[in-house]
Structure 1
Amino acid sequence: MRGSPGFAAILSLLLPGLGQMYHGRWVRGILMLLLPIFTVLLTGAFVAIADPLTSFVLRNAAEVTFLAAGGFFTYHLLVVADAFAGKPRGKGPFRGRHVIDYVVLGLVCISLVGFYTTAYRGSAPWAGLASKIFAPLANPPLVGAAPGQVPSLPEWTGTERLNVLLLGIDSRGDSSQTQNTDTMIVLSLDPVNKTAAMLSIPRDVYIDRPGVFTDKINAAYAFGGYDLTRRVVEDLLGIRLTAYALVDFDSFTKIVDTVGGVVIDVKRPVRDEAYPTPDYGVERLDITAGPQLMDGSAALHFARSRHDTNDYSRAQRQQLVLSALRTRLAEGDFLRSLPALVDRVGSTVETNFDPANIIPLAQFGSGIDGSAIRSEVLYPCGGAYPHCELQASSGDNGFILIPDRAKIRDFAAALFYDPQVKSEGASVEVRSAGARNGLAQSVADRLTERAFTVSNVSDGAVGRSAVLVRNNTKRYTANALSAQLGGLPVDTLSSSEATGADIVVRVGTDFRGLATDLAR
């Protein structure tokens, strides 16, 4: 036996296999070091790739965490014991040792127990977070899916815009018919340019899509769950939703209370003589103007009240509360408190975020500057609003808001611009090629609203509408222009045509309009 058995055990405690190398058993030591690494990598790859396995792990996250901790503890203990035994010569593996060696071995084993117990206690809350918040991924849908089918994880590369549908559910009863989405906000993150946008959709927007859904938009979730709600919102706005988050009133209150409340600067007093209570009664609400720290209950009352104003001012207040909550989370140690937050909220918060993306997203969202967040609401025409996309109407369905699909999609295209277009910064010249007077300027203005860099508007020879590329490194923007302009062909700009821009948009007599104009 070469070396001290106790010291070998300490080395393998610090790094599995190091004690074996200390005894000169290099191959054995390297194998013991690499085995757990390869096991973790292979297991993680299988879990990430195989959707059924992902679902199983999320559904049984607590048990999987316990088994993983127990497995690593057992393996580490065996490695330490093997390092302590060494290479005996004519004696049993544990004979011929000094008392001090056994004392050291005992301390090493106690240290292992303490380390893995601490590791398990630290990871268990995160396991609970995964099993609770990713419930839609862990449990196959009961309606609209084949037996055994598991919903696929939404794909997000981290470079394109991330659109998240935030749903606030009124679930005061056991029936799904009571689960109306009183709050519906599209939260959009631009990870490239570090900006964000929020768009509130009033609950009275009337959707008339026979064969899909015909009712007020706030009834879509109660009627067909998130899948129907996603289809309705995507069709209305002309965007792709990446994920969703569903929160009921009780969860919202707990979230705000867990972070210690939110600071709201109330611009004008909120007085509501008929604020709805959980037992379907009413109460009086009176919130004074001025900055104030609101607990969960007060923040919910502030966000929900609508009887003294309207749904549009309520939507603005809801966005104000979300911004205040983001600020509160950014001020503290958000990631450390996240497991406790989700543990308190429970299974009433649901999302289909890819687990691999939620931590980077949380860090990104809390790090955005408040001035880089744009808040908007779809407004009705006929009022003193900055823009309008809806028409108020009353009939057999009561009060409804009829959407102008083209105007809504045009507004959404500007609000949720393509991050890579803005980042690429290609200069664009809009050239009139026989189009009616003022059309080229109108196209240029609308492209500017959508984050395209329009350098100038000019007149040219009569020709067919097209997107002409002078700088081939700006092909992404050229293809994006084609999509925005109703599928115009993309071609290379002739060397005989002079321009200082990277791309020329030629607007001819055949120009039909932007893609959003065709949504009517």
Structure 2
Amino acid sequence: MSVGGMIDQDGRGPDPDEERGRKRRGVRALVYGLIALLVLVLLAAAGVVIVTQQLGSQVGRYPSVFAPIDPSSRPADSGGQTFLLIGTDSRSPDPTTGTDAAPDAVFGSQRSDVIMVATIAEDGQSASVVSIPRDSYVDIPGRGKNKVNAALAFGGPPLLIQTVEQLTAVHIDHYAVIDFAGFAQMTDAVGGIDVNVGQESERDGVVVPAGEQHLNGEQALVYVRERKSLPGGDLDRVRRQQAALRAFLEKALSSGTLSSPTGAYSLVDTVTRHVGVDDSLSNTGLAQLAVSMRDLRNSNVSFLTVPVTGTGMEGDQSVVYLNQTAGRDLWFAVNTDAVPQYVATRPQEQLSDTPR
């Protein structure tokens, strides 16, 4: 496996120490770049070997997700790169769209347990991940008010993109999907993750105790799926999902997995089987974006949830009401690459070290 073609060239002679340093920097460039790409690392490891067609081609492609959208209805592109990141749970027995999401949606159509807006600043120095709770009560173009994840069931990726762009005034550049059915395998591929669990959870006989825990893949899946027993319901689950993905990122970068060609290949092989992106993002495009983001560090990635005012009922549906005023401030910060300044003045809005 070679990443030599991706390493910056400075024109100097072949000093062995310098050559090794360039190789290390090249690997880090790809890793950190793809952290920015999907932020949640589910493609970050792929940066090490994304130049190989075999693994790059394992990343699923969603065709024509932007084609049905009227360009004149979309927010202006403000620079940087923004991904609408969707997490599905194809093995969960609990419906997350269909009748659970909206009375007139098609049951079991498309699931969207996780909705995140992941943005990479234009200078490549910072990135943000903003979660939109799946039960957020929003305007869906042509459908009126409903849960945000109902948009995917009503009209697939194009309608969900339109809904999120209308809500945030943020231009979505790419669409990405992660299947949480593979999250257990991905967790095991990095040797497990370390999470400070705020409240014990149990599912199908698998227990995740409270406190500092090292979770294997099976436990990690229980941790990110739990909702009903948590005081904050879907809001607490959103924080757990972010915490697990943050832990995955930290473990992948610190465990030495990515510094080993065989370890990196194994991890990427697992990851790419459970990730899909829109078809405008080619393997070459992924690698080029990775290189452009080589200065990003995981400490510069902010994890946030869109501000809410509380929960309530709309008919027989439990919904989350968004704080429109505070939300405008957050999305303005996302659009102007000012999230670091935003979180500096509102540290309580960042993901805590011990979410429930």
TM-score (norm 2): 0.63
1:169, 1:252 → 2: CA distance? Answer: 11
Structure showing greater radius of gyration is 1
Q: Cα distance 1:371–1:144, how it changes in 2: closer, same or farther (>3 A)? A: closer
Q: Cα distance 1:324–1:361, how it changes in 2: closer, same or farther (>3 A)? A: farther
Q: SS of 1:399's equivalent?
A: strand
Offset from partner CA, 1:9-35 (integer Å, 9 cap, x none): xxxxxxxxxxxxxxxxxxxxxxxxxxx
1:207, 1:251 → 2: CA distance? Answer: 30
Find out whether 1:256 has 2:187 as its counterpart.
yes
The residue that corresponds to 1:350 in the other structure is 276
| Residues 163 and 188 in structure 1, CA contact (< 8 A), matched pair in contact too | yes
Find out whether 1:126 has 2:44 as its counterpart.
no
| Residues 56 and 272 in structure 2, CA contact (< 8 A), matched pair in contact too | no
The residue that corresponds to 2:253 in the other structure is 330
1:450, 1:319 → 2: CA distance? Answer: 16
Q: Cα distance 1:373–1:344, how it changes in 2: closer, same or farther (>3 A)? A: closer
Offset from partner CA, 1:350-399 (integer Å, 9 cap, x none): 01334334235557779744442222113432xxxxxxxxx533132421
2:246, 2:154 → 1: CA distance? Answer: 30
1:396, 1:422 → 2: CA distance? Answer: 36
Q: Which letter maps to 1:403? A: L
The residue that corresponds to 1:192 in the other structure is 123
Correspondence for 1:300 among 207, 221, 227: 221
The residue that corresponds to 2:330 in the other structure is 411
Aligned length, in residue pairs: 270
| Residues 184 and 221 in structure 2, CA contact (< 8 A), matched pair in contact too | yes
2:294, 2:244 → 1: CA distance? Answer: 14
Q: Cα distance 1:124–1:144, how it changes in 2: closer, same or farther (>3 A)? A: closer
Q: Which letter maps to 1:311? A: D
Where does the alignment leave 5 or more consecutive residues of structure 2 unmatched? 1-48, 70-76, 96-105, 345-356
Q: SS of 1:180's equivalent?
A: coil
CA shift for structure 1 position 333: 5.1
The residue that corresponds to 1:443 in the other structure is none
CA shift for structure 1 position 249: 2.2
The residue that corresponds to 1:216 in the other structure is 147
Q: SS of 1:135's equivalent?
A: strand
Q: Cα distance 1:169–1:291, how it changes in 2: closer, same or farther (>3 A)? A: same
The residue that corresponds to 1:163 in the other structure is 82
CA shift for structure 1 position 199: 1.2
Offset from partner CA, 1:286-340 (integer Å, 9 cap, x none): 3223333222221121112112212222211111111111112223353845554
The residue that corresponds to 1:71 in the other structure is none
2:64, 2:109 → 1: CA distance? Answer: 23
CA shift for structure 1 position 449: 4.6
Q: Cα distance 1:209–1:165, how it changes in 2: closer, same or farther (>3 A)? A: closer
Where does the alignment leave 5 or more consecutive residues of structure 1 unmatched? 1-122, 146-156, 276-282, 382-390, 424-447, 452-520
Report matched runs for 1:375-414 at 5 Å: 375-381=303-309, 391-414=310-333
| Residues 252 and 296 in structure 1, CA contact (< 8 A), matched pair in contact too | yes
Q: Cα distance 1:324–1:364, how it changes in 2: closer, same or farther (>3 A)? A: farther
Q: Cα distance 1:229–1:306, how it changes in 2: closer, same or farther (>3 A)? A: same
| Residues 138 and 146 in structure 2, CA contact (< 8 A), matched pair in contact too | yes
1:230, 1:126 → 2: CA distance? Answer: 30
Offset from partner CA, 1:249-298 (integer Å, 9 cap, x none): 222222222222222233x23235xx4xxxxxxx3553223333222221
Let me know the Cα RMSD of the aligned residues. Answer: 3.8
Report matched runs for 1:50-199 at 5 Å: 126-136=52-62, 160-172=79-91, 177-190=108-121, 192=123, 194-199=125-130
Q: Cα distance 1:301–1:198, how it changes in 2: closer, same or farther (>3 A)? A: same
Q: Which letter maps to 2:57? A: S
The residue that corresponds to 2:240 in the other structure is 317
1:287, 1:166 → 2: CA distance? Answer: 26
| Residues 184 and 203 in structure 1, CA contact (< 8 A), matched pair in contact too | yes
CA shift for structure 1 position 205: 0.8
Offset from partner CA, 1:112-131 (integer Å, 9 cap, x none): xxxxxxxxxxx999222232
**Could you say which structure has the greater relative contact order, defined with CA pairs below 8 angstroms and 6 or more residues apart?**
2
Q: Cα distance 1:200–1:340, how it changes in 2: closer, same or farther (>3 A)? A: same
CA shift for structure 1 position 208: 2.7
| Residues 128 and 343 in structure 1, CA contact (< 8 A), matched pair in contact too | no
Instruction: Pick which of 243-252 and 170-179 moved more.
Output: 170-179
The residue that corresponds to 1:23 in the other structure is none
Correspondence for 1:269 among 171, 194, 199: 199
Q: Cα distance 1:330–1:365, how it changes in 2: closer, same or farther (>3 A)? A: farther
Q: Which letter maps to 2:85? A: L
CA shift for structure 1 position 239: 0.5
More helix by share: 1
Percent identity, please: 26
| Residues 126 and 339 in structure 1, CA contact (< 8 A), matched pair in contact too | no
Q: SS of 1:181's equivalent?
A: coil
Moved runs in structure 1, 4+ residues, more than 6 A?
173-176, 363-367
CA shift for structure 1 position 417: 4.7
